A and B are shown apart, each in its own frame.
Chain A
Amino acid sequence: MVNTVFKPMVRVHRSPNHLHSNGVSHHHVAVNILEKKDRFIIELAVPGFEKEEITITLDQNRLVVKGQKKEQTSDNYLRKEWKMSTFEKSFNLGENVAGDKSEALTQNGVLSIIVPKVEKQAPVSVKVN
């Protein structure tokens, strides 16, 4: 009961920007970021997207993810709470990661981008004679 009645209400309150004039659709992409010892894993919720419909570019330290759905089926909707035809999301990568060595994969509607951390250089000790 709490799940079905209370939570959807809270969700609207939490992210008001997903409500447009028609009241229901949104293009907001939810992101999870997991930090591991040697890498970051950025997860984007992209339900319905084929991997061919997603492009990932790295410009300097800016990682940009764009999605564009080829064809949107125009069914007779009785209720429409989500819509994702296009999205764009960008991340600024810090200096401690190797953005050019990133890898990406899609599985079950989640795009995962793995960004390895840069190995810290061991401090060089200079011997004073």
Chain B
Amino acid sequence: MSIVKFNPFFPGKVLGNMIEDVFNRGISDIVGSDFAVNVPSVNISENPDSFVMELAAPGLDKGDFNISLDHNKLTVSVEKKSEKEAGEEGKWTRKEFNYSSFKRTFTLTEDVQADRIAASYDKGILTLTLPKKEEARPKPAKTIEIK
């Protein structure tokens, strides 16, 4: 967001600038880049032997993610130092998504085998597979033989 200097002697000019800003820019320029979506949404599904979490965080690389587990708190975070491309300059005329810095924490149930959590990143989706503990899995149907 740009800082507009207020000049009490030329109020008309300031107002003129602001109107131009409103019509020529995306909403994120006016409200600030914080307006953009920058925390990924998550889907969590349950299978018989695992939970699967899918975070939609496009535009990153596998190495950008930090996944940590502290007791039953699973934290996924990204902290990219700088997204500037080397050399060439450019300006964002619209910015609705930016996942270069976020942190999301999830509380796991006791059913999860914490030491066997697996993660992969494909097509902008971070998938975490959380296997269930043996006792939390549904027991296979047992046939009882008639003697």
Residues on A lying within 8 angstroms of B by beta carbon are: 3-4, 7-8, 11, 14-15, 30-37, 40-41, 43, 45-50, 75-84, 106, 108-110
Chief secondary structure at chain B's binding surface: strand
B108 at the interface (CB under 8 A from A): no
Find out whether the CB atom of A30 lies under 8 angstroms from the CB atom of B36: yes
Least Cβ–Cβ distance between B66 and chain A, in angstroms: 13
B18 at the interface (CB under 8 A from A): no
Give complex CA distance A8, B104 in Å: 10
Stretch at the interface among B4-12, B56-64, B111-119, B134-142: B56-64
Find out whether the CB atom of B102 lies under 8 angstroms from the CB atom of A75: no
B92 at the interface (CB under 8 A from A): yes
Find out whether the CB atom of A50 lies under 8 angstroms from the CB atom of B123: yes
Contacts of B52 in A (CB 8 A): 75
Give complex CA distance A76, B47 in Å: 7
Find out whether the CB atom of A33 lies under 8 angstroms from the CB atom of B42: no
